[in-house]
A and B are shown apart, each in its own frame.
Chain A
Amino acid sequence: MTAEQILETEFLGVRHRLLDLAASLDRAGRAEGAEALHADARWSSIKDALVVLTEDRTDRAERVQMLFSDPYRSDWRTPRS
């Protein structure tokens, strides 16, 4: 499929998912305690992920996965004090 064909096929689904996402963010923003969201690491990860989505690349999914992943330490066998 060409890019045009993919856009044609998937536009409504993407629009739907974006609206659902926007609604979830609005819901959190209207709720009690919303002013504390900026201090929540999960909220920061969501905002970072949204930035990734706007970048003109083809590895967005992998990069979003990494934003929501704990880091790997090569010295994981060494007990931390």
Chain B
Amino acid sequence: MYYIDPHIHMVSRITDDYARLARAGCVAVSEPAFWAGFDRGSADGFADYFRMLIDVERRRAADYQIQHFCWLCINAKEAENVTLAREVIARIPEYLDRPGVLGIGEIGLNKNTPNETTIFEEQVDLAAATNELILVHTPHLVDKYRGTRMILDILTGDSRIDPRRVLIDHVEEHTIRLALEAGFWVGITLYPTTKCTPDRAVDMIDIYGPDRVCVNSAGDWGPSNPMAVPDFIRRMRARGYDESAIRRIVYDNPIRFFEQSRRWDFTPPLPVEARDPQR
């Protein structure tokens, strides 16, 4: 089955992972800008990182016939440095028209501090001013519920923001309903220990249905599983979902959300029935 991983940090993965993704049927990845494991020292450091996302990862993915898309932002963790964050935000518009850049993300909150909130609001303002899609990072663990509600307060309080153009990522059992009822897209992240298992993701789809729901691996430089979406596909099959229902979550839904970006230049793979019957 062809699938799309709508949130994976390939800049921190080796090419073996691209090969594995391709073998498993991955045809596209969407890579948000995130924290690299250390606090960058300058806006130029972010500029170099944006070039890696836009140019290098696009080429690296293409070597494995995977289409690569990305998002740009200053992430929630480094948003605590307001001065640096504003320098980065000022640089983002020069990259927004580059091929494959889908919008502003993954912006959000980390420890729910006033500085993080300020920078989140300023990036929401940028997205509204430039009519970009928004990909939202919700905090981890103990901070997630409070941070998600704060994020939703900000977004729903801004009349310029269309919830159908925003994806609230890393939702879990206590935050998914809040985001869906407010009209947003959601991402369920399949990540060891600190986020969801494939079965818990299927549980949430059992309860809330497939509308505006995506799943992702958020594979990064920490212990994580870039094959989490194929694992999820297997669990959906084991729990009785048919191929069209699974395809909706892992292929159709990401496309439906991303195609709202004017730089979504995804070329669908050939369907199986279109192959040359002589081969």
Chain A interfacial positions (CB closer than 8 Å to B): 1, 61-62, 65-66, 68-73, 76, 79
Contact = CB atoms under 8 A, between A and B. Distances in A.
Residues of B in contact with A, size category:
10 to 19
Contact of A61 (B112, B145, B200, B239): B200
Interface stretch (B52-60, B136-144, B215-223): B136-144
Given A69-B146, A72-B150, A62 B173 contact: yes
A73 B153 CA distance: 11
Contacts of B240: 1
Contact of A68 (B114, B141, B153): B141
A72 B138 CA distance: 14
B142 A76 contact: no
B158 interface: no
B150 to A, nearest CB: 6
Given A1-B240, A61-B200, A61-B203, A66 B149 contact: no
A53 to B, nearest CB: 14
Q: DSSP majority for the A interface?
A: loop
Contacts of B114: 79
The 10 tightest CB contacts between A and B, nearest first, are A65-B174, A69-B145, A62-B173, A61-B173, A72-B149, A72-B146, A70-B146, A62-B174, A65-B173, A70-B142
